[in-house]
Amino acid sequence: MTEFKRAPQISDAVARRLAQRHRAEIRFQVYGLSAIGVAILVLLILLGSIGYKAVSAFSAHTLTLNVVIDPDLADPRGDRSESSLRRGSYNRMMQTALETEFPGVTSRAHMRELFGLYTAVNAAGLLQKVVKSPDLIGETVTYEMPISDDVDLYLKGRSVEERFEDVEAPLSLIEHEDGVALSSPAPVFEGFLTLVREAYITRAEAAEARASAAFDRASLPGIDAQTAEAERANAQRELRTGELWRERVTRLNTEGLTLQPDGPRLLVRVNEGVVRVTRLSADGRSAEGEVVLPLENLAQARHWTRWILETPASAARLTDRQIVWTRALEERGFVKKRFNTWLFTRADSREPELAGVLGSAIGSVLTMMVTMLLAVPIGVGAAIYLEEFAPKNRWSDWVEVNINNLAAVPSIVFGLLGLALFINGFGLPRSAPLVGGMVLALMTLPTVIISSRAALKAVPLSIREAALGIGASRMQTVFHHVLPLAAPGILTGAIIGLAQAFGETAPLLMIGMVAFIADAPSLSLGGFLEPATVMPVQVYLWSSGVERAFEMRTAAAIMVLLGLMIILNAFAIYLRRRFERRW
Amino acid sequence: MRSQFICVDALNGDGKLVDDYTPTAKSGATYHPLTGNLPIKVATTGVDVFYADKQALFDVSLDIPDRSVTAFIGPSGCGKSTFLRCMNRMNDTIDTAKVTGSVRIDGEEVNDRSVDPVVLRARVGMVFQKPNPFPKSIYDNVAYGPRIHGLAENKEEHDAIVETALRKAGLWEEVADRLDLPGTALSGGQQQRLVIARAIAVNPEVILMDEPCSALDPIATARIEELIDELRENYCIIMVTHSMAQAARVSQSTAFFHLGRLVEYGPTEEIFTNPKDTRTQDYITGRFG
């Protein structure tokens, strides 16, 4: 047997370096992977938070009313002409429908609350219906409309923290002048008193803690006399606050509780009606209250429900009565949850429940059409000239440097240019998609030119030589051979540029496209000159809306915007695949 | 310029340059002194080419006979491709390139302002080192030239031109049933024959070939060489090659370039068996290059 030959020895220095090289490579891969991981995580958080908020905007609660079309109200002149029908008081008919639903509501203030469940703007929809078919006059029309945004939020459980507690204890009801007196042999309201008492104690303790902290600061060594004095005064003030809360606890324990609208409220659902409790006795056995929803009878009840609203009425932007009526309407089947079609079929509105993205989507489409028709041909043409025909000299170098500079110019500057040139110079209307599209085209041009030039440059010389060698002119070479091969790259660049323009807000600010536009521009030639807004601007406008419902609609609009972006990019990838050719 | 020229010569220890050949530089009707019975197709006198400030070709004068294969050999960067590209003004496409001197085809000055390079390139076809079919169908590749030059009136005439060109290029049998296939899907050798067919389709007088076989395997090379030999009957073929064996096999006359200068030009047999210049001898015996 011969001995095995040993593998050639690697010198120690090489071996050490080899290990080092392997480690460096692994380290680099770990960096790369963690970078991708962080990116994906952030993206998921972003999409998750937007999606979570947006989901509730994609559904909406509706209020269905059986409206009697009163001939006197609908047709004041009585000739059934359109002008007469348009003068009708349709909101009054809707109000009547609600009134018949809640006959107990008589005071003006309560009626105003009742009619606050929907927006009067909805009367326009009913008007349209009647104008379309005047035969409806005298009939009963089932009219479905979005419920007020605050009610919608409440029904989605987003604004009011409430609790229903079923009680098995006798409850006697005695009616008197101002309402009803409730009493039970068991301490049925003790729990609610405890809830309020604990809230008072928590506040007292918090004030006392703040006082002791202020005292500590006042006795810190080295503190100057003036600051110490101020801290001491502060502590005294906090102590007094604490005492006040303690006093309230004592009063609650001895005299009972008068319910405040800024604290938790108690409703009692009994005998098919609802009583809003105004006063509780200290022993938790009896209460005074006003009837919100009429009771069927005043018999002693064994099964009834405590309905506790913990959120202050001011924060919910709903009164207790409205909450009760909403639940009653829901039980009677007049309030339903359905897909929010208004979000996609309506333009902007002051009322969140009636606000939609359609107007801004049409504005975006019109604007992008102008941008595309201007930026793509001009940009690609400029790129072809500069890349294929222009002599390489100082002049063309200068042009190239300036195009690269333009790509880095802040977009708002293009807005200023558009304002000065198109609106003040050419006298074009403000807020028009035509002007917006022209401004965005200016902004997109450098991107299109640069990416198109890169795509043209990437076409191999051999193809140009082949065409020129056979006797094609320069233009034939470019248009028959170079351009088709560069098309995927040019398209990608153009669509990236357009996507950028699609999401742009700043330059449109200057030309008045950041505006409240309640009518969607028409999808016609005239639409290019009508006032419009675009989707990112709509997102911006809604994000500064006061109503909380706008917060969700903002997220929903962002989702729609992102969805359109994804469609646009998918289209770009499709075009690329389609035109891609190997050589 | 002259001093540099002498310097190079001195380095090689030879004072004389192409002593037995003087370009006639006259009309196309003149018979070529090297081949005797063949008329001169391309005549050049004092061609200099500059790329920006760098001179790539020095004072090249040379006559090329019709209906034969002329090979340009020489080490890389010696200017043979540059010279080849002077004949169909492909150097025009390079911004910095400047060509001076005279190139005449059938006595007509190529560099004249009145000559449209588009018309010139229809007369002088070119085949490149790397097969460069268009990323279109085989049919469109061949029909493109006739189409842009308006050589055919209708579909039938186009079909006829395509078939003839493909037959001449020896590709018809292989692709007749799949003319819709993209030209780029063919093998390297087939692609190069397709490119030759594309050049033939516009019915040129001169075909320039810039190292047509350097990207091909030996079998495909043999096929192309055979084809070149067949095409010689009807065309004036000028080819640049790095393979001396190929030059010896295919060409009738050979020109040897070195450092931008024409060193020696003569019948192929003579260049390979009895070179006059020591540089030529060194190159063909493989001492440099």
DSSP string across A115-159: HTTS-GGGHHHHHHHHHH-GGGTTSEEEEEEEPPHHHHHHHTTSS
Residue (of A139, A333, A384, A179) closest to A267 by Cα position: A179
Are the beta carbons of A473 and B149 separated by less than 8 Å?
no
One domain, residues A49 and A69: no
Whole-number pLDDT of residue B92: 85
Label residue A86 by pLDDT band (50, 70, 90). Answer: confident
Whole-number pLDDT of residue A262: 80
Alpha-carbon distance of B288 to B74, in angstroms, equals 10
Average pLDDT of the segment spanning B22-26: 45
Whether residue A7 lies inside any domain: the answer is no
Whether residue A87 lies inside any domain: the answer is yes
Checking if the pLDDT of A581 tops 70, the result is: no
Checking if the pLDDT of A367 tops 90, the result is: yes
Whole-number pLDDT of residue B26: 41
Alpha-carbon distance of B105 to B120, in angstroms, equals 10
One domain, residues A239 and A107: no
The per-residue pLDDT for range B120-141, each reduced to its tens digit, is 999 999 999 899 999 999 999 9
Whether residue A342 lies inside any domain: the answer is no
Are the beta carbons of A467 and B134 separated by less than 8 Å?
yes
- Is B207 at the interface with chain A, CB within 8 A? no
Count of the separate structural domains present in chain A: 4
Residue (of A564, A522, A561, A521) closest to A543 by Cα position: A561
CB nearest to B95's CB, from A392, A463, A476 = A392
Whether residue B180 lies inside any domain: the answer is yes
8 Å CB contact between B36 and B237? no
Label residue A421 by pLDDT band (50, 70, 90). Answer: very high
Mean pLDDT of chain A: 90
One domain, residues A494 and A518: yes
- Is B46 at the interface with chain A, CB within 8 A? no
Alpha-carbon distance of A469 to B144, in angstroms, equals 12
Whether residue A44 lies inside any domain: the answer is yes
- CA distance to partner chain A, nearest, from residue B262 (Å): 25
Whether residue A6 lies inside any domain: the answer is no
Whole-number pLDDT of residue B5: 32
CB contacts, 8 Å: B148 with chain A: 470-473, 476, 480
- Residue B114 burial (C-beta neighbours within 10 Å; 0-12, 13-18, 19+): exposed
Checking if the pLDDT of B168 tops 50, the result is: yes
The per-residue pLDDT for range A166-185, each reduced to its tens digit, is 999 999 999 888 789 999 99
One domain, residues A82 and A208: no
Q: Spell out a b/e string for A79-94, using b for 16 or more CB atoms within 10 Å of the CB, else e.
A: eeeeeebeebbbbebb
Alpha-carbon distance of A364 to A536, in angstroms, equals 9
Whether residue B127 lies inside any domain: the answer is yes
Whole-number pLDDT of residue A523: 82
Whole-number pLDDT of residue A261: 80
Checking if the pLDDT of B14 tops 60, the result is: no
Whole-number pLDDT of residue B29: 45
DSSP B77: T
Whether residue A270 lies inside any domain: the answer is yes
One domain, residues A175 and A76: no
Tell me whether strands B54-65 and B206-210 are parallel, antiparallel or unpaired: unpaired
Residue (of A435, A482, A441) closest to A461 by Cα position: A482
CB nearest to A581's CB, from B118, B128, B135 = B135
Mean pLDDT lowest for which of A8-12, A74-78, B59-63, B266-270? Answer: A8-12
One domain, residues A395 and A505: yes
Are the beta carbons of A469 and B148 separated by less than 8 Å?
no
Q: List phi, psi (to 5°) of A186.
A: -95, 155
Whole-number pLDDT of residue A219: 86
Average pLDDT of the segment spanning A266-286: 91
User: Domain range holding A264?
Assistant: 162-310
Count of the separate structural domains present in chain B: 1
- CA distance to partner chain A, nearest, from residue B177 (Å): 22
Share of chain A above pLDDT 90, in %: 58
Are the beta carbons of B145 and A470 separated by less than 8 Å?
yes
Whether residue B161 lies inside any domain: the answer is yes
- Sequence-distant (≥ 6) Cβ neighbours of residue B250 within 8 angstroms: B69, B71, B225, B228, B229, B239
**Within a 13 Å sphere around the CA of B22, how many CA atoms are in the beta-carbon half?**
2
Q: Which one of A247, A280, A310 terminates a domain? A: A310
Residue (of A250, A155, A150) closest to A200 by Cα position: A250
Looking up residue A361, the CATH number of its domain turns out to be 1.10.3720.10
The per-residue pLDDT for range A194-231, each reduced to its tens digit, is 999 999 999 999 999 999 999 888 888 888 888 888 99
One domain, residues A304 and A246: yes
One domain, residues A378 and A510: yes
Whether residue B289 lies inside any domain: the answer is no
Whole-number pLDDT of residue A574: 87
User: Domain range holding B277?
Assistant: 2-284
Checking if the pLDDT of A322 tops 90, the result is: yes
Label residue A502 by pLDDT band (50, 70, 90). Answer: very high
Is the interface score ipTM higher than 0.90? Answer: no
Q: Which one of A310, A327, A343 terminates a domain? A: A310
Whole-number pLDDT of residue B16: 36
One domain, residues A417 and A528: yes
- Is B145 at the interface with chain A, CB within 8 A? yes
One domain, residues A433 and A459: yes
Whether residue B174 lies inside any domain: the answer is yes
Residue A173 Cα distances to A190, B19, B52, B58, angstroms: 18, 136, 108, 121
Torsion angle, alpha carbons of B163, B165, B170, B172, to 10: -20
Q: Which one of A112, A146, A180 terminates a domain? A: A146
Whole-number pLDDT of residue A306: 93
Whether residue B249 lies inside any domain: the answer is yes
The per-residue pLDDT for range A534-546, each reduced to its tens digit, is 999 999 999 988 8
One domain, residues A361 and A447: yes
- Residue B96 burial (C-beta neighbours within 10 Å; 0-12, 13-18, 19+): exposed
Whether residue A335 lies inside any domain: the answer is no
Checking if the pLDDT of A582 tops 60, the result is: no
Alpha-carbon distance of A252 to A268, in angstroms, equals 20
Whole-number pLDDT of residue B30: 56
Whole-number pLDDT of residue B25: 42
One domain, residues A433 and A574: yes
Looking up residue B134, the CATH number of its domain turns out to be 3.40.50.300
**Angle (nearest 5°) at CA A338 between A333 and A343:** 135
The per-residue pLDDT for range A123-158, each reduced to its tens digit, is 888 998 888 888 888 889 999 999 999 999 999 988
- CA distance to partner chain B, nearest, from residue A469 (Å): 6
Whole-number pLDDT of residue A133: 87
Checking if the pLDDT of A366 tops 50, the result is: yes
Whether residue A334 lies inside any domain: the answer is no
**pTM reported for the whole predicted model:** 0.79
Residue with tokens 């000239």: A385
